[in-house]
Structure 1
Amino acid sequence: MATEFSKLRLQTGCTAEQLAAELGYSERQVYRWETGETKPRKAVLDRVRDLAGRPAEPVPFAGFTFIDLFAGIGGLRTAFDDAGGRCVFTSEWDKYAQLTYQANHRDNRQIAGDITEVHVMDIPAHDILVAGFPCQPFSIAGVSKKNALGRQHGFKDETQGTLFFDVARIIDAHRPAAFLLENVKNLQNHDRGRTFEVIRRTLEDELGYELHVRVINARHFSPQNRERIVIVGFREPTAFSWDALELPPEGLRRMRDILHPEDGSEAPEGHYTVGERAEVSEKYTLTDKLWAYLQGYADKHRAAGNGFGFGLVGPDDTCRTLSARYFKDGSEILVSRGKGRNPRRLTPRECARLMGLPDSFRIPVSDTQAYKQFGNSVAVPVFREVARIMTPHVLDILSPPQESRLKQSA
């Protein structure tokens, strides 16, 4: 059972090692408090409570507010924070993702859980809706059949029962100036394109938003092949263009940019890296049994003419897409350790770097939960750039130029 101290430590966003340094105690002593072997003094608990409630550092406010739905660990939140936005509402159902989110976005506001249970009027007014919504199957039937049955058609029927419906109902109720939706690239091809057609028709034809869609690969900013569809919508006509994106050439970044150098040039971090040289802990090296299984699995599929198998990378490579299943065997991204040595998984810190997060990003959860969270997250630099080019058009809608205002009043 979690002790009061362990719960507070998670709320601070600190690892046991970080908290030990903050409090001036040994890491071993912190673990004793975590497990309940001994009880900390009141002064220690008061200090940890203070750390847990430390307010977020203010960011420059550009003049727009946004809400963060299906927020995960806050990757999209980070991008729009950096564009000068102010988050006024967050929804995320997973309790472990909530811990990581709160550890890194300390605005002392409660995170709403299941968005399907939140009434639209309980969501504050906002200028931009941001959502990395999960894609669930859409059932599409002919409008004529629905009319014959006396049933409603349009998004209120065709998307009912999907999480996209909750995005649509919030947009319909609040009419934000803009939205940004993120999903896997294959959303466009799901169910032979029918799913995406429902989404397009809902946003563009039914809700009346100007739509801009593009697939962007994180390889512009990270040594990871990660393609995601980005759907941007504006309530009013704009001069928005994807041509304004400033994307570095793909492939400039390599794995050496995110891997632990293991040469003493960075400080050891918790159980990720150890010793004076901050070498990656052996716990991340694959066992002989697992490595033999993955090689056998790859050989079997190679013989059958399939492309399934592990992805082995070195410092000069780029890697496959990090997925939420990475915790199972790490097979999609294995780091070579040289001849005669089994490869290893990425550490959670390396996963954070792969997603474009700084080393100051706090990881207060287990490795298993961290792998799931980073695999489900977005590549932050991609969406920081999208937020940058969206912002002036949002501000134009919120505060139209003087010439436009004069025309409206004429």
Structure 2
Amino acid sequence: MRFFDFCAGIGTGRMGLENIGLQCIGFSEIDIDSEYTYQAFFGQAEKNYGDLMEINPNDLPDFELMIAGFPCQSFSIVGQRKGIEDDRGQIIYGLINIMKAKHLPYFILENVKGLMNHDRGKTFTIILNDLNQAGYQVYHQVLNSIDYGIPQMRERIYLIGIRKDLVTHQLFSWAEPIDSPNLRNYLIDGIEIELNEKNKTYQTFLKYLNNKYNQGLFTIEQLCSEDYLVLDTRQSDLRLYKNKIPTLRTGRHGILYTREGKLRKLSGFESLLLQGIPKYLAERVKGKISDSRLLSQAGNAMTVSVIEAIGCSVLNYTRYYG
């Protein structure tokens, strides 16, 4: 089965589908930094068709499946939640136009969980109705990456579309959860934080540790005495996690953890691993792209193992393994 990778980011959706034998025949991405990483993973010869809102569907090769992590900023609880009034929110209609023009059999769409309750659920209802009117039976489910082999708490809404003339009596079944491996397998590259007044990361962390909400609760020595303890600072809060990591996000660059008695900062390389990208691919961009950019790109990416599981569910439904 051939698929096209829209709103491709760094290509984690593609990785998941290629892991189960599907063939990518093109990608569309407007962010230059993400395109660089994508081509580092898959090769410089990969053609980027650019802005999907400007693509003539007739210029696209034929394919059977669309995958797209369409922009989530319009619907995320960390954004302004403008929804379909935002230009980025209109991307869904660009995708629908391509679906109809290509008479597309199947699609996989991904977005933040907040899409479901944006504008008290009206936005999600409109999108589902428009996909239905475009000719698709749509199945949707919130899945968490930590349930699919990756120790990251990442809830996302996934929409599976099957063209109505291809719908059978068979019920669509979502993949069963699997256990996640030990987090220490992923925290292998963290940047050690020097505990002195010159280190900005350390000084920022001390402000959280000593603010009125956390003062006296922990000391650096206590925290560092436990290996692989994850520390997340947001607003005035300090949250601690064991054997799991909070959701990677574009703007979240302050995840810390402990190892061998040291305080460390999650690296860009580690963030790629925590989205299911294999080490040999992550190593292609390690040291070539800044940590801040890799952290942002990983925060925008899909989790490889989740897409792989969803892809298997689609194949099981269609019984198409070509």
Q: TM-score range by the shorter chain?
A: 0.7 to 0.9
Aligned residues: 286
1:134 is matched with 71
3-state SS, counterpart of residue 229 of structure 1: strand
Runs (5+) with no aligned partner, structure 2: 75-81, 215-233
Q: Within the alignment, does 1:334 sit opposite 2:256 as a pair? A: yes
2:245 to 314, 319, 327: 319
Query: Matched residues in 2 for 1:291 and 1:312: separation?
Result: 17
Q: Within the alignment, does 1:291 sit opposite 2:202 as a pair? A: yes
Greater strand content: 2
- Gap change, CA 1:79 and 1:107, over 3 Å in 2: farther
3-state SS, counterpart of residue 237 of structure 2: coil
Greater helix content: 1
1:393 to 312, 317, 322: 317
Cα distance per residue 1:331-372 (max 9 Å; x no partner)? xx2112466x5x221122211221111111122422221111
- Gap change, CA 1:113 and 1:383, over 3 Å in 2: same
Runs (5+) with no aligned partner, structure 1: 1-63, 141-157, 261-271, 273-279, 400-410
User: Percent of aligned positions with the same letter in both sequences?
Assistant: 30
Query: Matched residues in 2 for 1:121 and 1:284: separation?
Result: 56
The TM-score with structure 1 as length reference comes to: 0.63
1:216 is matched with 143
- Aligned residues of 2:183 and 2:244 also touching (Cα < 8 A): yes
Which letter does structure 2 place at the counterpart of 1:246?
Answer: E
2:302 to 365, 378, 381: 378
- Gap change, CA 1:292 and 1:115, over 3 Å in 2: same
3-state SS, counterpart of residue 84 of structure 1: coil
1:130 Cα deviation (Å)? 0.5
1:187 is matched with 115
- Gap change, CA 1:290 and 1:365, over 3 Å in 2: closer
Query: Matched residues in 2 for 1:131 and 1:229: separation?
Result: 12
Higher relative contact order, structure no. (Cα contacts within 8 Å, ≥ 6 residues apart): 2
Query: Matched residues in 2 for 1:199 and 1:368: separation?
Result: 33
2:167 to 237, 259, 262: 237
Query: Matched residues in 1 for 2:273 and 2:87: separation?
Result: 36
Cα distance per residue 1:142-169 (max 9 Å; x no partner)? xxxxxxxxxxxxxxxx999711111111
Which letter does structure 2 place at the counterpart of 1:321?
Answer: T
2:220 is matched with none
Query: Matched residues in 1 for 2:37 and 2:16: separation?
Result: 16
1:253 is matched with 181
2:290 is matched with 366
2:273 is matched with 353
Which letter does structure 2 place at the counterpart of 1:336?
Answer: T
- Aligned residues of 1:68 and 1:77 also touching (Cα < 8 A): yes
1:124 Cα deviation (Å)? 1.8
3-state SS, counterpart of residue 25 of structure 2: strand
- Aligned residues of 2:13 and 2:307 also touching (Cα < 8 A): yes
Larger radius of gyration: 1
- Aligned residues of 1:311 and 1:319 also touching (Cα < 8 A): no
Which letter does structure 2 place at the counterpart of 1:173?
Answer: A
2:77 is matched with none
Which letter does structure 1 place at the counterpart of 2:252?
Answer: Y
1:112 Cα deviation (Å)? 1.9
Query: Matched residues in 1 for 2:183 and 2:136: separation?
Result: 40
- Gap change, CA 1:107 and 1:83, over 3 Å in 2: farther
Moved over 6 A (4+): 158-161, 283-286
1:213 Cα deviation (Å)? 0.5
Query: Matched residues in 2 for 1:233 and 1:291: separation?
Result: 47
3-state SS, counterpart of residue 211 of structure 1: strand
- Aligned residues of 2:52 and 2:95 also touching (Cα < 8 A): no
Q: How does 1:72-87 map to 2 (within 5 A)?
A: 72-87=9-24
1:72 Cα deviation (Å)? 0.6
3-state SS, counterpart of residue 302 of structure 1: coil
Query: Matched residues in 2 for 1:87 and 1:94: separation?
Result: 19
- Gap change, CA 1:301 and 1:200, over 3 Å in 2: farther
1:114 is matched with 51
- Gap change, CA 1:95 and 1:284, over 3 Å in 2: farther
1:67 is matched with 4
- Gap change, CA 1:107 and 1:78, over 3 Å in 2: farther
Cα distance per residue 1:90-140 (max 9 Å; x no partner)? 001111111111111137232122222212222222100100001333458
1:256 Cα deviation (Å)? 1.1
- Aligned residues of 1:66 and 1:88 also touching (Cα < 8 A): yes
- Aligned residues of 2:249 and 2:300 also touching (Cα < 8 A): yes
1:227 Cα deviation (Å)? 0.5
- Aligned residues of 1:130 and 1:179 also touching (Cα < 8 A): yes
